[in-house]
Amino acid sequence: MQDPNLTPLSSLGEFGLIDRLTGAYKPSNPSTLKGIGDDAAVLDYPDRKVLISTDLLIEGVHFDLTYYPLKHLGYKAVAVNLSDIYAMNGTPEQITVSLAISSRFSLEAIEEIYSGIYLACQTYGVDLVGGDTTSSRIGLVISVTVVGSAPAGEIVYRSGAKENDLVCVSGDLGAAYAGLLILEREKSVFKADPSMQPELEGLDYLLQRQLKPEPRADIINDLRKAGVQPTAMIDVSDGVASDIRHIAKQSGLGCVIFEDKLPIFQTAYDQLAEMQIDPTTAALNGGEDYELLFTISQADYDKIKDHNDISIIGYMTTREEGYHLISKSGTKVELKAQGWDALKS
């Protein structure tokens, strides 16, 4: 039924669509210091900058209720938003939560979601300050908006990286994706034979990475204590390959990432290999790690080199050098962002 003269969204991808819709738009209020194009917008209020970010979670796209505990879902909906504020080097302070719910949910089910929301609020010192609750005929929808703040000089944009800056990432990569694949596998097994018990022994960490991600407030604090202000930063939601390209593009640079430096948790590596998924591809494109990907000046190297949860995985180059991955065998290949379009469709 689609008019062939119309552009299918599939030809654009998420970022292409956003570019198309917002590329020509210019904010006009003096208080809008930074609008679309980073993890959060920055609003210029006296003395402090207000940060705001928002995320929409849709049943059947972002979560599958057949294996997603409702409490975890509430927690994650908040956590992924807070992650955006930390990725600006800011402090989240308030959230709003909107829920669309169908009549198949009981009060107790919604309370489970809220218990996760409150737990995340408590854990990260954030206040729930509003929202909207509505009925839905089309499944569960959760929309979270977070407001935070930072002193003006401390905000870290995606655009501040300099040539030769080191590319760093916190924690490990690919485990959330491995967790998702395991949950999908066990769902299939259960569907085929409901008497089967899920095989989840020893996989707690991978499942937790998928079901209950933690934004890295601790890393922000550690960097502050060490006297390191990243030159650019983003949270890893779509996958390092896609996310480092955002930093490179907005900073007018290229980058080199070393495959052998990618931090992959051993259990994730083993599980991915067993499922015949290339662990490097998963680490680069799996997404939903909610780690911090940031660049620092080489002068700051000594201050972070002993941090046992930060890996240096590459460096920034000139724009002309493009985006590259140096494989374990030493081959230089183009670093392709497959994130949203490939793995998750």
- Contact assessment for residue 88 and residue 157, using Cβ atoms and an 8 Å cutoff: yes
CB nearer to a copy of itself: pick between 15 and 190: 15
**Both tokens of residue 22?**
């917002």
**Both tokens of residue 92?**
């989240």
Of the candidates 214, 217, 196, the one whose C-alpha atom is nearest the C-alpha of residue 205 is 214
Q: What are phi and psi of 165, to 5 degrees?
A: -60, 150
CB nearer to a copy of itself: pick between 93 and 163: 93
Least CB distance to a copy of itself at residue 142 (A) = 9
CB nearer to a copy of itself: pick between 53 and 210: 53
**Both tokens of residue 57?**
């979670």
Least CB distance to a copy of itself at residue 107 (A) = 4
CB nearer to a copy of itself: pick between 54 and 267: 54
Give the max Cα distance, the chain: 62
Q: Is 59 helix (H, G, I), strand (E, B) or coil?
A: strand
Residue 178's DSSP bridge partners are: none
Residues contacting 340, CB < 8 A, separation 6+: 13, 14, 238, 242, 287
Q: How crowded is residue 132: how many other Cβ atoms within 10 Å of its Cβ?
A: 10
Least CB distance to a copy of itself at residue 295 (A) = 22
CB nearer to a copy of itself: pick between 45 and 301: 45
Axis-axis angle for helices 175-192, 266-274 (nearest 10): 40
Least CB distance to a copy of itself at residue 233 (A) = 16
CB nearer to a copy of itself: pick between 137 and 334: 137
Query: Any idea which residue has 């003096």 for tokens?
Result: 30
Least CB distance to a copy of itself at residue 252 (A) = 22
Least CB distance to a copy of itself at residue 113 (A) = 9
Least CB distance to a copy of itself at residue 165 (A) = 25
**Length of the chain, in residues:** 345
**Both tokens of residue 270?**
């083993």
CB nearer to a copy of itself: pick between 56 and 200: 56
- Residue 35 and residue 19: Cα distance in Å, rounded? 13
- Contact assessment for residue 186 and residue 67, using Cβ atoms and an 8 Å cutoff: yes
CB nearer to a copy of itself: pick between 38 and 259: 38
Least CB distance to a copy of itself at residue 92 (A) = 10
CB nearer to a copy of itself: pick between 58 and 189: 58
- Contact assessment for residue 224 and residue 293, using Cβ atoms and an 8 Å cutoff: no
- Contact assessment for residue 148 and residue 51, using Cβ atoms and an 8 Å cutoff: yes
Residues contacting 157, CB < 8 A, separation 6+: 34, 38, 88, 232, 233, 250
Least CB distance to a copy of itself at residue 105 (A) = 7
Q: What are phi and psi of 43, to 5 degrees?
A: -110, 135
